[in-house]
């Protein structure tokens, strides 16, 4: 979708918004899949309510993207524009055992920056691609930890109230890969409270998690992490593996040989290829195990 209304284009600079015309979302997602649309890069949080009022007044549909690492975007010209926060300087400010982090901050860089300040707890998230905002919205977790445990405050734009609000940690529920945020809430910043630990100890934990991840996940390939959530008490990856489906492909969309819940883009897969593969695997798992796998990856298919 293109923003060609001169009234919108003229209003953007004052709102701290940069318009990038005709962006290929394949370049903004870790899967390397996704069609084309206009991208609005937001440089100041305060301009967001007016920006969204402006887009709504002119009937311009929009979606928010974080780091694009857990996202499968449809092919072709997309029927909405995409909003993304620009990275501020600095991304993280430490105050005692608190870390004030911008939602656009890179998750891995945040984990290491906190570690260098003797703040641990997030070792498991090392190697998870994406932004802190995306991790927060999905309650990203690995190796027995989840980011929600450390959240004390969240600054967000709430589409329901059309304004920026601050929520306390205990006003938000964090479950397995799920939070109580509304789908159109936009994460802006988070205050984390992290356990104090010597840097060396945190680094040792980071190394262990890195090693585990490297040995079990296809890190060098284009993927969106795990495609399906684990059903209660079971592992989606193990079930797909037991069915002998590693290597199964639709075009360049392929089930990783290393981890069966990672579906990789082995070249120039389309969203259609990936969605066909996902549907096929869901059906096979359902037939074999009588389990309906739920998507963990967020799908934006028009």
Q: Look up 114 and say whether it is catalytic.
A: no
Token pair 């962006």 in the structure block, residue = 23
Residue 70 in contact with residue 107, Cβ under 8 Å? no
Shortest distance (Å) from residue 64 CB to ligand EPU? 19
Q: Which of 31, 298, 258, 296 is nearest to 142 (CA)?
A: 296
Q: How far is the CB of 163 from ligand EPU (least distance, A)?
A: 31
Does residue 229 touch ligand EPU according to CB under 6 A? yes
The sheet that has 17-24: what strands, in order across it?
Answer: 17-24, 36-42, 81-85, 62-64
CB nearer to ligand EPU: give 105 or 224.
224
Identify the active-site residue in 158, 177, 258, 284.
177
Overall residue count recorded for the chain in this entry: 302
Least distance in angstroms from the C-beta of 198 to ligand EPU? 24
Site string for ligand EPU, 231-270 (x = CB under 6 A): ----x-xx--x-----------------xxx---------
Shortest Cβ contact with ligand EPU: which residue?
A: 225
Tokens 């600095």, located at residue: 90
Q: Confirm if 224 and 182 have CB atoms less than 8 A apart.
A: no
Q: Which is nearer to ligand EPU, 143 or 171 (by Cβ)?
A: 143
Q: Toward ligand EPU, which CB reaches closer, 78 or 227?
A: 227
Nearer to ligand EPU, 37 or 223 (CB): 223
Residue 166, strand partner residues? 155
Closer CB to ligand EPU, residue 1 or residue 145?
A: 145
Q: How far is the CB of 28 from ligand EPU (least distance, A)?
A: 18
Q: How far is CA 52 from CA 46, 66, 118, 125, 204, in A?
A: 11, 17, 39, 32, 44
Query: What letter does residue 230 receive in the DSSP assignment?
Result: P
Instruction: Count Cβ atoms within 10 A of the Cβ of residue 280 and give its class: 0-12 exposed, 13-18 middle, 19 or more buried.
Output: middle
List of E strands, 208-262: 249-250, 253-255
Q: C-beta of 218: minimal distance to ligand EPU in Å? A: 10
Q: Which residue in the set 143, 198, 267, 294 belongs to the binding site for ligand EPU (CB under 6 A)?
A: 143
What's the closest the beta carbon of residue 216 comes to ligand EPU, in angstroms? 5
Strands 141-142 and 249-250: unpaired
Is residue 216 involved in binding ligand EPU (CB under 6 A)?
yes
Q: Which of 63, 114, 226, 282 is catalytic?
A: 226
283 catalytic per annotation: no
The interface with ligand EPU within residues 16-55 (CB under 6 A) comprises none
The conformational region for residue 57 under phi > 0 = left, psi -120 to 50 = alpha, else beta, is alpha
Task: Please identify, using beta-carbon distances, which residue of 6 and 144 lies nearer to ligand EPU.
Answer: 144
The residue from 37, 110, 131, 230 that contacts ligand EPU (CB under 6 A) is 230
Tell me if 225 contacts ligand EPU by CB under 6 A.
yes
Q: For residue 82, what are the CA distances in angstroms to 9, 33, 57, 73, 165?
A: 15, 15, 17, 11, 22
Using CB under 6 A, which of the segments 50-58, 161-169, 183-191, 223-231 binds ligand EPU? Answer: 223-231
**Which residues are at the interface with ligand EPU (CB under 6 A)?**
142-143, 216, 225-226, 229-230, 235, 237-238, 241, 259-261, 296
Could you give the residue numbers annotated as active site?
Answer: 177, 226, 296
């Amino acid at each position: 979708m293109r923003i060609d209304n001169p009234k919108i284009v003229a209003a953007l600079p004052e709102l701290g918004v940069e318009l990038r015309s005709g962006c290929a979302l394949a370049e903004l997602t870790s899967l390397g899949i996704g069609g084309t649309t206009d991208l609005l890069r937001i440089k100041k949080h305060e301009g967001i309510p007016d920006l969204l009022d402006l887009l709504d007044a002119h009937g311009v549909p929009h979606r928010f993207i974080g780091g694009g690492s857990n996202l499968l975007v449809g092919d072709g010209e997309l029927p909405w524009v995409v909003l993304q926060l620009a990275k501020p300087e600095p991304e993280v400010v430490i105050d005692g055992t608190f870390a004030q982090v911008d939602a656009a901050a890179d998750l891995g860089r945040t984990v290491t920056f906190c570690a260098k300040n003797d703040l641990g707890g997030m070792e498991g998230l090392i190697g998870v691609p994406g932004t802190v905002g995306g991790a927060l919205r999905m309650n990203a977790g690995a190796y027995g930890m989840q980011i929600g445990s450390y959240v004390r405050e969240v600054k967000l734009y709430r589409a329901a109230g059309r304004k920026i609000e601050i929520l306390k940690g205990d006003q938000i529920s964090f479950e397995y890969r799920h939070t109580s945020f509304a789908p159109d809430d936009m994460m802006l910043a988070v205050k984390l409270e992290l356990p104090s630990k010597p840097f060396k100890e945190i680094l040792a934990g980071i190394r262990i998690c890195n090693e585990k991840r490297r040995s079990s996940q296809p890190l060098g390939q284009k993927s969106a992490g795990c495609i399906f959530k684990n059903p209660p008490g079971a592992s989606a990856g193990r079930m797909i593996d037991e069915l002998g489906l590693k290597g199964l492909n639709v075009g360049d969309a392929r089930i990783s040989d290393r981890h069966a819940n990672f579906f990789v883009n082995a070249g120039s897969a389309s969203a259609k290829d990936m969605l066909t593969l996902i549907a096929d695997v869901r059906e096979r798992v359902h037939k074999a195990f009588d389990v309906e796998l739920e998507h963990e990856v967020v799908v934006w298919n028009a």
